[in-house]
Amino acid sequence: MSVLSTGINNPILCRRPAKCDNRFLALLHWHWLELCFFNFAFAEILVIKINDPIVHFTHELATQLKPLEQLSAQGKVQKIKLIIHAGTPKTGTTSLQTYLDKKQRKLRGKGILYPHNLAESNNPAAPKHQWFEKNLVSAHLENFLANFTHIISQLKPDTHTIILSSEGIYNYWWDFPGESKEALRTLSQLFDVDLWVWFREPLGFIESYYKQCIRNPQVASNPCYGKDLSFAEMLHIPWFSKHLDYQGFVTECQTLLGENSVSAFQYKGDVVQEVAHKLGLATTHDNPTPRQNNSLNSASIKLLKTLNHYNIKAKDKELLMPHLKEINGLLGRYVNDSLIDDISRDRVLMIANPVTF
């Protein structure tokens, strides 16, 4: 038995089942949200004695957002807009993050926050928000909440929009446990969420993603990072091939966040200019944005794959990368072949589940 108390003399008893499934928890934290938005004076003194991370996350975040609420002309509560840029990989994400970081002051002037990271994070100066997916993969909702608390501390009275960016949201989407996806559902109820995602044509995307997997250091929990695998071999690994399910990602995001809370775009080569126009930052003098993170050519990837065979430590692999990039530049004029053979090409097109734009 758990107690939801509205005061010493007026407790509400709530029977919690012995086995508490996700549906029960979703229902419970939905009712909590109703209290927050429709009767906050009542919810403010509500004491939740259920030891559940989702309920705690919802309660704490709603409490922090309450003082920032503004009313529209119609008397309705206006939520802060939360734009979540989820990638995908190799669609100019690094260039976009660098651009938004440099334009922080201009964005502030328009009421838009591209937030700094917590000082305690692994790389606080990085212009991206990798804590988002890392805490969701591990279901570490206390850290997830701490980062949102830090973001809320950066809000000013005129702030109406927050932008978060990390391509890892798409990368690790299929690794998020149910509890973490419930946390995303909570965000959609506390903020006006709009998830932005750009998709490349499948063959170009999956070849670039294969190169990135080969380039990454090995991770015990990941079947593809830093491995000595051909493209055809990696394509048979479900974790890798799932990344071709563009529509599946969009549909699940719509289920969690709301049908109108997901914006999917076709990648046309310059995401920075697209976003600049959306945010009102573009000028007639803007030049095409240079790429910040170019892919290695097929010869360099074959060299990396050979190095991966020896299970090189992450720090040693990092030391080799400057030399490999130099080799990549020298070999560029000689290499023009794809890493995808004809059979794998047909299989990619068969597996791919594209979005209709």
324-341 residue pLDDT tens:
999 999 988 888 789 999
32-41, 208-217, 261-270: least confident range: 32-41
What is the pLDDT, as a whole number, of residue 119?
A: 79
- What pLDDT, on a 0 to 100 scale, did the predictor assign at position 80? 96
Contact 222, 175 (CB under 8 A): no
Fold of 70-283+293-357: Rossmann fold (3.40.50)
pLDDT over 70 (residue 48): no
Determine the pLDDT at residue 332: 85
Q: What is the mean pLDDT of residues 230-234?
A: 98
How much is the pLDDT for 68?
87
The pLDDT assigned to 11 comes to 44
- Helical (H) or strand (E) element with 325: helix 314-331
On average, the pLDDT of the chain sits at 87
- What are the start-end ranges of the H helices in 200-313? 202-215, 231-235, 238-241, 246-257, 271-279, 298-308
- Cα distance between residue 162 and residue 85, in whole Å: 11
- 253, amino acid identity: C
Task: Quote the Cα angle for 310-169-185, to 5°.
Answer: 145
9 has pLDDT over 60: no
The predicted pLDDT at position 357 comes to 82
**Domain range summary for the chain, segments of one domain joined by +:** 1-51, 70-283+293-357
Check residue 13 and give its pLDDT: 43
User: Over 80: is that where the pLDDT of 208 sits?
Assistant: yes
Mean pLDDT of the region 286-315: 85
